[in-house]
Amino acid sequence: MEVFLFSCSVGVAVIAIGWGVLLLRASRREHLLARQRALQDYDVEPPREPTTGGGWVRALHRLGERAGAGRRSRGMHQELARAGYHSSAAADVYIGAKVLCFVVGVFAFSLLLIPLTDGFASAFFGIMLGATSLFFLPNLFVAVRRDRRRAEVASHLPDSIDLLDICVSSGMGLDMAWNSVARQIRRVSEPFADEMELTNLEINLGVPRSTAMRHMAERTGVEDISSLVALLIQSDRFGASIVDALRTFAQTLRETRSQKAGEAAERMSVKLLFPMVIFIFPALLIVMVGPAVLELLRVVGNS
């Protein structure tokens, strides 16, 4: 009886959610139509849906646009930009993915736990716990992609500074050298090249170089880029040589990377202790002591 009541409550909740989504869709459509009519007087193009990624991306965008109205913040856009999602529709797709994961989790864990549990409270708690864990799955995906992208940019930054130093030393301007390095670095790191080209686009649109590079530091989350921005600003303000500044900065980055590699190598011995104790030492013990134990058992058995 409790299972039947729980199934009925889940069905009523799903119907209520669907009805609410339909009402929200209708109100959202009226709002967009009114906004489009208002924007026509100012020759401003209304926001469009993403054109890449297929129909499922557009479906997630529409779902997130309806479910996450007013919930998009600057911090969310910054985290998505650090993960490589610079589109204005990325936040809506992100929210839509979270809502979809939660709904799928509710249905999946309902089908899994309702036949296996007897009490209503335990089934409801398990369903909510499983659906909530799936709800935060996009957060984990974005965090992993963000950390991987930041590590890749940080690893290729010293080489790009060396190339920038070579280009500026040969007589090229800083902007031209920046474009040349962006083209060369694309062969080894497309994310870093994309960030450099986006910075160059902002400079061409009239944004000051220091501001554009600060935006690049915010998008990537790499502190060394912020240090590079401060270095270039000081060199420009005090009239110092940009070549010497870049050379010194590149040398500092190489030394820092070498120190980090040494620290990682020193920590490796401690990290290898646990696998050796768990996997290697028992195998060595069996190989070394096993024959003696077998011989002792044979002698005891014959006596």
Task: Count the alpha carbons within 13 Å of 175 in the hemisphere toward its beta carbon.
Answer: 13
Identify whether the C-beta of residue 99 lies closer than 8 Å to the C-beta of residue 62: no
How far is the CA of 35 from the CAs of 27, 42, 66, 68, in angstroms?
12, 11, 16, 18
Provide the pLDDT for residue 72: 61
**Residue type present at position 56:** W
Torsion sign, CA atoms 115, 117, 122, 126: negative
What is the model's pLDDT at position 53? 53
CA distance 263 to 257: 10
Between the alpha carbon of residue 277 and those of residues 160, 181, 209, 273, 282, the distances in Å are: 42, 48, 54, 6, 7
* CA pair distance 281, 283, nearest whole angstrom: 5
Q: Whose CA is closest to 57, among 48, 45, 46, 69?
A: 48
Q: What is the pLDDT of residue 223?
A: 82
What count of Cα atoms within 13 Å lies in the side-chain half-sphere of residue 47? 13
Say how far apart CA 38 and CA 296 lie, in whole Å: 94
Q: Please give the backbone phi and psi of residue 45, each rounded to the nearest 5 degrees, phi first.
A: -80, 125
Element (H, E) at 62: helix 55-67
- Amino acid letter, 142: V
Q: What is the pLDDT along the chain (303 residues), one digit of tens a residue?
A: 554 445 555 554 555 455 454 444 544 444 444 444 333 333 333 444 554 555 777 777 677 776 655 556 677 777 888 888 877 777 888 888 888 888 888 888 888 887 777 777 777 888 888 888 888 888 898 889 888 888 888 888 888 888 888 888 888 888 888 888 888 888 888 888 888 888 888 888 888 888 888 888 888 888 888 888 888 778 777 777 788 888 888 888 888 888 888 888 888 888 888 888 888 888 888 888 888 888 888 888 776
At 54 the pLDDT is: 58
C-alpha to C-alpha distances, 43 to 37, 39, 153, nearest whole angstrom = 10, 6, 39
- Report the amino acid identity of residue 211: T
Q: Which domains does the chain have, with CATH numbers?
A: 2-135 (no CATH), 150-257 (1.20.81)
Q: How many CB atoms lie within 10 A of CB 71?
A: 10
